[in-house]
Amino acid sequence: MQSFDIDKSDLLRIKTALNGSDAELQQVLQQYHTSEIAILFEKLEPDERERIINILPAEEASEVISEMDEEHHPAELLANLTSEKRSEIVEELDYDDATDLLSQMDESDQQDILREIDQEDATNIRALLSYDEDTAGGLMNTDLIKVNGKLNKNEALEEIIKQSEEMEEFYTLYAVDDADVLLGILSIKDIIKARPMVRVEELVKKDYVYVKADLDQEEVAKLISQYNLTSIPVVNDDMRLLGRITVDDIIDVMEEENTEDILKISGVSEDEELSGGWRDAVKSRLPWLIINLATAFLAASVIRSYEDTAAKLPIISAYMIIIAGMGGNAATQALAVTVRRISLSDLTDRQAYMTVLKEALVGMTNGATNGVIVAGVAMWYDANPILGLVMFLAMTGNVIVAGLTGATIPLILKRVGIDPAVASSIIITTFTDCIGFLLPLWLATKLLL
Amino acid sequence: MQSFDIDKSDLLRIKTALNGSDAELQQVLQQYHTSEIAILFEKLEPDERERIINILPAEEASEVISEMDEEHHPAELLANLTSEKRSEIVEELDYDDATDLLSQMDESDQQDILREIDQEDATNIRALLSYDEDTAGGLMNTDLIKVNGKLNKNEALEEIIKQSEEMEEFYTLYAVDDADVLLGILSIKDIIKARPMVRVEELVKKDYVYVKADLDQEEVAKLISQYNLTSIPVVNDDMRLLGRITVDDIIDVMEEENTEDILKISGVSEDEELSGGWRDAVKSRLPWLIINLATAFLAASVIRSYEDTAAKLPIISAYMIIIAGMGGNAATQALAVTVRRISLSDLTDRQAYMTVLKEALVGMTNGATNGVIVAGVAMWYDANPILGLVMFLAMTGNVIVAGLTGATIPLILKRVGIDPAVASSIIITTFTDCIGFLLPLWLATKLLL
């Protein structure tokens, strides 16, 4: 199959086919990979998605549903199908995907489905449902290939072929003892190359990375990325093998965490759905705006306390909003670099100190440069050299404050255990606004009145 | 090996060992995985890194260097070694990693190394150096397992074992014809299960995703994520197999792209190094600040044009900075959600229209809510109900403008082919600042003077 991008013509074909008979629709659908149908689903209406899922064979329907982004509510789509259809689909799903979907349903739909499906599947899914969805346990799949360490080469190969029957890719093989305790990992290459009577336990690689079921998913992603793994085994406290997490699930975690980072740094609640409704968006954003409003009153009180200065020198309003605004921009820059750096690796005390020093230097340089421009405007346009001096000093000062707070605040928040991305931007704009108004007003009062 | 996090005690051990003899240092290093040494390197000084690399066997040294983040200049470290040591290391590196490192060196170091190393390796690396580093060609590795479609089962297995000698994981197997044209992909499972005289070409899976060498790395990452692949073959226009890209390299691309997204949306040049020096940071950020300064003068000119109003009603300054600031915050929220949504998938016209409508509704609700609070302050604290009305209308209006521009500007930029993350934030704050000053001043002029 050719690698291609879904474009408007594909959407048009599907939309046209949706107006035709089932047979026509089926024929069009056959030309798409299930991942592609999942992408096309993003542009379709809920009833159109339901019709397509009903027409597809259960195996393909299950792939489409497991490929759908959580944003587009695959769980809702599944819950709305007839009980026969949804059982068929759930039975085809990998256990981790089925668990994910069921955990998004309400209790009664969840219980209905668990009653309807094959009881061995139900037991496996129930076990996975007991883990928090943001942990290794919630992310792992119980479908994996494990062989007993006592088996010899041919017994092991037979076992691997048997267990891999329903698996697309088997990634790493695991060796366990009679009590399912993990002995190590195995490569298929070493088994193929081994002499006939060698036992699995002699071939095992004992130098491997594993995680406990309660580890946070972000930490799992870091390990997979650091050690360049394609999968990682999940064990309980007694080292019994519970499941494994594969790299494709980690890629989804990374995308999710990145969305959260960008939202948090912009003052949006991390669980706002990108394509959600307006009411949810209000719920997610209004609290931040109200906190911001409170800090804005603080900045406004600075202006109030210099009412006389503003009255005697009305032109200062136009200048001080420039000083405050530029401070906000410079702080956002320093904040973004520092927050991202912290999220990629922890900093030593010395590195933290150097970061703050660097931002002070950057602030001094960028502040003075912009200060010269503003001073130039004050001197030539408003013909007031002292006003120029005031604005040069205020701009330089505020952009230094911006750099210092942009670097220091996230570093402090991180050390006291608060997510720097969430709280930093409100705190630093409060600083740059207050100082951005205070400096020009105070300096003007001293030097110009 | 246990999964663990590098902490201060590890750093202290290494630092202590660095003060001791080579033998002591070697003993301490043996207790760490090469990935862990690469992480510890982030906290060490350049001369300390060099000493460790010189002490490690070439194979481990090459792993450490290939694991190092580009931020910490592995290419510089490599270039500074003796020519004997660096040749040894480069020969141990995977071709894609060697190419990556050499592409970061200056021309003369690059040519020196290519002369010093094994000439077959040099030819392979030269070929890879010809691809742009941000494309599939720049990302691919030429080490892979390919078998001729005419081989039978046992010949194929022999060939696979021979070729996998130096490979840690072989991911997918590729079947090619005599001219190296890709016939399809193969699973080791199907080969093991096959009858003895079956030819490889009969086992090949023809339904696979491939990419051309010039495809942008971001598109490659999207395909790998969409189709849940662990590797993807790279071909030329004649479908000859050039190499393959593995999922571990894609994880690095995703982290890189995410850093760039967060920097761009915050007005930092996308190639600023997070741990770079202050001069580079000035170069990366000053241009954006100067553009912002120009737009700030535009906003200031709105205030200048209402000088009379401000003179007659000095209290308005304190209010209008609240209106403008809140508009900026609301716009940042709408922008973050829209930019992230666009970067995850393209929107249809209808979806784009619905997004703008949603943001208008969110703006109306959040604006009116904050407007009521500000109006309350104007009515009770300043005892001026008309001022309260003016501020209610101005706040509501500006937050609606914020939502509309926050959603519309990135959608428009995307359609005309400009990266929405780069340019959006400057354009929208210009809007919310100008409207944020204009609305209260204009309304106050009409209703209060």
Q: Is it the case that residue A286 has pLDDT exceeding 90?
A: yes
CB contact under 8 A, A337 and B274: yes
Residue for token digits 């991202």?
A340
Rounded mean pLDDT, A39-55: 90
More reliable by pLDDT, A226 or B404: B404
Report the complex ipTM.
Answer: 0.80
C-alpha–C-alpha distance, residues A167 and A257, integer Å: 28
Probe site for chain A from B291, B293, B359 (most A CB atoms < 10 A): B293
Considering only CB atoms, A285 lies closest to which of B189, B227, B362, namely: B362
Helix (H) / strand (E) containing B234: strand B231-235
C-alpha–C-alpha distance, residues A62 and A66, integer Å: 6
The answer to whether domain A8-130 and domain A146-246 are alike in fold is no
- What are the distances in angstroms from CA A348 to CA A62, B8, B33, B37, B381? 47, 8, 21, 16, 48
C-alpha–C-alpha distance, residues B75 and B15, integer Å: 23
**Structural contact between residues A214 and A135, judged by C-beta atoms closer than 8 angstroms:** yes
Residue B413: how many other CB atoms lie within 10 Å: 19
More reliable by pLDDT, B344 or B320: B320
CB-based burial label for B91 (10 Å; 0-12, 13-18, 19+): middle
pLDDT given for residue A89 in this prediction:
92
Residue for token digits 């983040």?
B69
Report angle CA A14, A16, A17 to the nearest 5 degrees.
65
Interacting residues of B86 by C-beta distance below 8 A, sequence separation 6+:
B78, B79, B113, B116
Q: Is it the case that residue A3 has pLDDT exceeding 80?
A: no
In tens, the pLDDT along B42-52 reads 888 889 999 99
Residue A96 sits at φ, ψ, to 5 deg, of -65, -40
CB contact under 8 A, B332 and A366: no
Residue A154: how many other CB atoms lie within 10 Å: 12
pLDDT given for residue A168 in this prediction:
63
Rounded mean pLDDT, B210-227: 90
Q: Is it the case that residue B3 has pLDDT exceeding 50?
A: no
Cα Rg of chain B, angstroms: 30
Question: Which tokens in the block code for residue A243?
Answer: 């499941």
In tens, the pLDDT along B80-105 reads 999 899 999 999 888 888 988 998 89
C-alpha–C-alpha distance, residues B379 and A39, integer Å: 52
Q: Which residues pair with A148 in a beta bridge?
A: A176
- Whether B187 has its CB under 8 Å from any CB of chain A: the answer is yes
pLDDT given for residue B70 in this prediction:
81
CATH node for B278-448: 1.10.357.20
CB contact under 8 A, A325 and B433: yes
CB-based burial label for A260 (10 Å; 0-12, 13-18, 19+): buried
Q: Report percent pLDDT > 90 for chain B.
A: 50
Confidence band, pLDDT 50/70/90 cuts, at residue B120: confident
A278-305 helix and B316-344 helix, angle to the nearest 10 degrees: 150
Rounded mean pLDDT, A223-239: 90
A351 contact residues in B (CB cutoff 8 A):
43, 275
pLDDT given for residue A5 in this prediction:
60
Three-class secondary structure of residue B47 per DSSP: helix
In tens, the pLDDT along A186-199 reads 888 788 888 888 99
Confidence band, pLDDT 50/70/90 cuts, at residue B1: very low
C-alpha–C-alpha distance, residues B69 and B85, integer Å: 21
CB contact under 8 A, B325 and A208: no
Interacting residues of B190 by C-beta distance below 8 A, sequence separation 6+:
B203
DSSP per residue, B159-190 = HHHHHGGG-S---SEEEE-TT-BEEEEE-HHH
Confidence band, pLDDT 50/70/90 cuts, at residue B323: very high
C-alpha–C-alpha distance, residues A62 and A53, integer Å: 9
C-alpha–C-alpha distance, residues B142 and B230, integer Å: 16
**Structural contact between residues B160 and B146, judged by C-beta atoms closer than 8 angstroms:** no
Q: Report percent pLDDT > 70 for chain B.
A: 98
CB contact under 8 A, A321 and B247: no
Task: Report DSSP state, residue B147.
Answer: E
Q: Is it the case that residue A353 has pLDDT exceeding 90?
A: yes
Interacting residues of B381 by C-beta distance below 8 A, sequence separation 6+:
none
- What are the distances in angstroms from CA B418 to CA A164, B184, B264, B412, B437? 47, 37, 13, 9, 29
Report angle CA B8, B13, B19 to the nearest 5 degrees.
130
Residue A79: how many other CB atoms lie within 10 Å: 19
- Whether B98 has its CB under 8 Å from any CB of chain A: the answer is no
Q: Which residues pair with A174 in a beta bridge?
A: A146, A185
Q: Which residues pair with A243 in a beta bridge?
A: A234
Give the closest residue to B49 by CA, choosing from B77, B10, B88: B77
Q: Do the bridges between strand B241-246 and strand B231-235 make them parallel or antiparallel, or are there none, so unpaired?
A: antiparallel
Q: Which of A77-86, A251-260, B111-120, B439-448 has the lowest mean pLDDT?
A: A251-260
Confidence band, pLDDT 50/70/90 cuts, at residue B170: low
End-to-end CA distance of chain A: 77
C-alpha–C-alpha distance, residues B263 and A376, integer Å: 30
pLDDT given for residue B379 in this prediction:
94
pLDDT given for residue B5 in this prediction:
61
Q: Which residues pair with B181 in a beta bridge?
A: B240
C-alpha–C-alpha distance, residues A216 and A341, integer Å: 20
pLDDT given for residue B168 in this prediction:
63
Rounded mean pLDDT, A440-449: 94
DSSP per residue, A298-363 = HHHHHHHHTHHHHHH-TTHHHHHHHHHHHHHHHHHHHHHHHHHHHHHSPPPHHHHHHHHHHHHHHH
CA distance B115 to chain A (A): 30
pLDDT given for residue B347 in this prediction:
86
CA distance B279 to chain A (A): 7
Rounded mean pLDDT, A33-51: 88
**Structural contact between residues B224 and B252, judged by C-beta atoms closer than 8 angstroms:** no
Considering only CB atoms, B333 lies closest to which of A266, A319, A358, namely: A266
Question: Which tokens in the block code for residue B309?
Answer: 């109003």
Distance, C-alpha B381 to centroid of its chain: 49
Confidence band, pLDDT 50/70/90 cuts, at residue A142: confident
Interacting residues of A423 by C-beta distance below 8 A, sequence separation 6+:
A413
Q: Is it the case that residue B236 has pLDDT exceeding 50?
A: yes
C-alpha–C-alpha distance, residues A426 and A58, integer Å: 49
Residue of chain A whose Cα is closest to the Cα of B296: A322
End-to-end CA distance of chain B: 77
Map out the domains of chain A as residue ranges.
Answer: 8-130, 146-246, 278-448
Three-class secondary structure of residue A152 per DSSP: strand
pLDDT given for residue A96 in this prediction:
85
Question: Which tokens in the block code for residue A352?
Answer: 């933290």
In tens, the pLDDT along B247-273 reads 888 888 888 888 888 898 888 988 888
CB contact under 8 A, B336 and A265: yes
Q: Is it the case that residue A1 has pLDDT exceeding 70?
A: no
Rounded mean pLDDT, A10-24: 89
CB-based burial label for A20 (10 Å; 0-12, 13-18, 19+): exposed
C-alpha–C-alpha distance, residues B117 and B58, integer Å: 13
C-alpha–C-alpha distance, residues A320 and B304, integer Å: 12
C-alpha–C-alpha distance, residues A185 and A204, integer Å: 6
pLDDT given for residue A64 in this prediction:
92
CATH 3.10.580.10 given to domain B146-246: yes
**Structural contact between residues A182 and A236, judged by C-beta atoms closer than 8 angstroms:** no
Sign of the alpha-carbon torsion through B269, A322, B363, A272: positive
A8-130 to CATH, choices 1.20.120.80, 1.25.60.10, 3.40.50.880, 3.20.20.140: 1.25.60.10
Rounded mean pLDDT, B344-370: 92
Residue of chain B whose Cα is closest to the Cα of A209: B3
